Structures are given as C-alpha cells and as structure tokens.
A and B are shown apart, each in its own frame.
Chain A
C-alpha cells in the first residue's frame, strides 16, 4: 500500500518538476479529456473547473445574502439539521470541505460550546460543596477550554469564498478552534486517518471528480469517522417537482440578477442541481468509496438530502 503510494507520488513529482504547469494538469489526467456538464452545457473537465471557480469568485461577496433570498432562509434550518445530526461532542475534529463562508464551521463551534457549557454546569452541580477557591479555579479552567479541544478546519478551493468566511469569522467573533486552508477536495492536503467528521455542504455538486473527492474523504477520516454530505437532490413527487422547477428556473436567476448582478451564475446553480445524481446514485457512489452504513435523509421532500456514511 505504501509502495503504491510512493510510486504514485514519484510519478507525479517527476511530472511536476519536468514540465510547465499547463502540461502538469495534462499529466494528471485533467486536460481536454472526457466531456462533462456545466449546468446544461457540455464542457471539458478543465473548462468546468475554471468556470466553477469563476462562478464562486463572482458570487462570493453576495453568497450569504443570495442563500437567504433563494431559499427564504430555509438553508439555515438545513445546516442546523446537519450539525444536529452530527451531534459532535467536545474534542471532535471536523473537516469542512467546500466550507467557504464557514456556515457549518460556525454552527459546529456553537454546538460544541453549548455541549461543553452543559457538561461543565453538570460537573459544578455535582460539586455543590466546593470552597470558593475551588469554584473560582474551575471557572479559570473553563476559559481556556470552552471548546474542549474541538477543532474545525475549513477547506475550500476558492480564495474569495475563504476570504469572505474569514472576515465573517472575525466579525462574529469566532477565533478559537477554527482554521482555514485553500485546498482541492480531490486532493486534500491532509494526512490519513486524521479527522472525526468530514462534511461537505452544498459543495460536492461543484466537484468535478466526485469519486476522487469521496476517496479523499475516506482517506482522511479516522476509523469510526463519519462522512456527511448535505446537497440539493431530486424531488420525486411530480407536482412538487413541477413547482420546484418553476421556482428554480423562473425566480432564482432573476433574484441572482437583481441581488448579485449575475444571473448566469445562478442559472448554472439551478442547472447543476438537475444534473447532480439522485439520492440512490449518490449513495452507491459513497459506498463505492468504501463507506459503510450509508444512508440518506430527505429534507423538504427531496429538495435537499443528507447522506451519511461511516469509515469502519
């Protein structure tokens, strides 16, 4: 296993060192190659990556505002449900991929903080007869350990999204236990067996090679670790599906133009939702990557689905 990896990275390094950057991507099988979809258009893999990068670079500043207006604020509930499903305890290490503006990361920190608060309160309650000195000391401990050593690493491929996220974190006062990394979900800069939970919320749709991203997710998770994916999915109810289509194609690009000044990006967004594999297919892909007990939960009749899997 180690020998295969060694051989693989040797080939990559030889390629990287001996050829200019453009050809490196060709070596790694990323150039002109198979045709892929970008919304309803057909593009090459390379073009798709660039286009998606540009989409998020353009929308980064208005991302949160647009999310609220498109989903009428419901995306907050979806993200809350994801973190509740995760149910992290203090000491959890979370990797949030495509986490751009940090929504999941902040919710994770809030959740862990409140769990930790309750833990400490319970501890105090059991020690009702402490001396004032001991009570004072226990408060001092809490200050340094309000997260209980939990940590979240936010990884995204887009610099603009991370910038917005970092500014938001500063503004909202999140500093402890939070790190930002610019990285590719298909080639994560993390070592094996490192994280307790891996989440990707509304990001996997934009990954060009989903299978690679899932393999990387499997690699960086610790044994017993959990994979959670929150993503737009397919609505089976025909009436609802028609209404949803109507809303998606008539209202959302218009909102995009009015609020963000960019209808094309939002046209891409709604098209990409239609192109994304449905629940069962994604479940099969996750199982292919090696996860066990893969399951999904539909939210809002399938508009959004949470897929979960374990590395066992």
Chain B
C-alpha cells in the first residue's frame, strides 16, 4: 500500500550522480522499509505518521522571538510557546523555527506550512 507513494517519489526525484548510483537499489529498499518517514518527506505537511522530535533536541529549542522554552504538542505535532500563543510546526521531524512559519494558537489562524523569508 505504501509502495505507490514511495515509487512516485523515486521517479520524481532525479538520482544524484556518482557513488549514489551504485546504492540506488539499496536506497529503494530503505525507502520502502522506512516508508513511515519516507512518505512524510515528499508530501510536506500531509504526512501520515508525524515524527516527534528527539528529546535531546527539545532540550535546546526555545522560541526564537522570546527565547522561552517550548511545549511539544503531540496532537498537532507542533512546538507551542504558551506565553505568545504561537505554534511552530514540525515537518518531517524537522522543527520549523522561523517566526514567519509560526501559527497563532488562540486566533486559530490556518497553519502556514511552508515558510518563506
């Protein structure tokens, strides 16, 4: 069931040159095995299984604006700054810590999935 999107990803993306060619088949298998993370990397905010960030990373992360600690919200897979009422999305396991991408939680504004400086 998950082969379809994984194969599509492979077809869409041009293969990098050089040493990666030899490992192309190996990568295909990896892609299909690790499809939980693989399906996320292509579709952006529509990933079926959101990856929580590593706990070691959460120790370091603070809000770039206020430098206050953040709370990880598993339901929406976001990092929330309670005081400012903003939430930073986590896409493909990578926290998106630019203020332009943050969503305001209490105003219930639609999430800006792709940040643009």
In the complex, whether B41 has a CB less than 8 A from a CB of chain A is yes
Q: Tell me if B4 counts as interface (CB < 8 A to partner A).
A: no
A16 contacts partner chain B, Cβ-Cβ < 8 Å? yes
Interface positions of B from 68 to 115, Cβ below 8 Å from A:
69, 83-86, 91-102, 104, 107, 112, 114-115
How many angstroms from the CA of A84 to the CA of B113 in the assembled complex? Answer: 39
Q: Which residues of B contact A190 (CB under 8 A)?
A: 60-62
Q: Is the Cβ of B66 less than 8 Å from the Cβ of A9?
A: yes
| Overall SS of chain A's interface | helix
Interface flag for A269 (CB, 8 Å): no
Q: How many residues of A contact B (CB 8 A)?
A: 40
Q: Which residues of A contact B23 (CB under 8 A)?
A: 171
Among the interface residues B30, B86, B117, which one has the most CB atoms of the partner chain A within 10 A?
B117
Which 7 residue pairs are nearest across A and B when measured between Cβ atoms? Answer: A189-B97, A9-B66, A179-B57, A189-B64, A49-B117, A183-B97, A187-B64
B→A interface (CB under 8 Å): 13-14, 16-18, 20, 23, 27, 30, 34, 41, 53-54, 56-57, 60-67, 69, 83-86, 91-102, 104, 107, 112, 114-117
Can you offer 29 A-B residue contacts whose CB atoms are under 8 A? A9-B66, A13-B83, A16-B84, A16-B86, A17-B85, A17-B104, A21-B112, A24-B100, A25-B100, A53-B116, A151-B56, A159-B114, A159-B115, A162-B94, A163-B41, A167-B41, A171-B20, A171-B23, A180-B93, A180-B94, A181-B61, A182-B94, A182-B97, A182-B101, A183-B98, A187-B65, A188-B64, A189-B62, A189-B64
The chain A residues found within 8 Å of chain B, CB to CB, are: 5, 9, 12-13, 16-17, 21, 24-25, 49-50, 53, 61-62, 64-65, 68, 151, 153, 157, 159, 162-163, 166-167, 170-171, 179-184, 187-192, 194
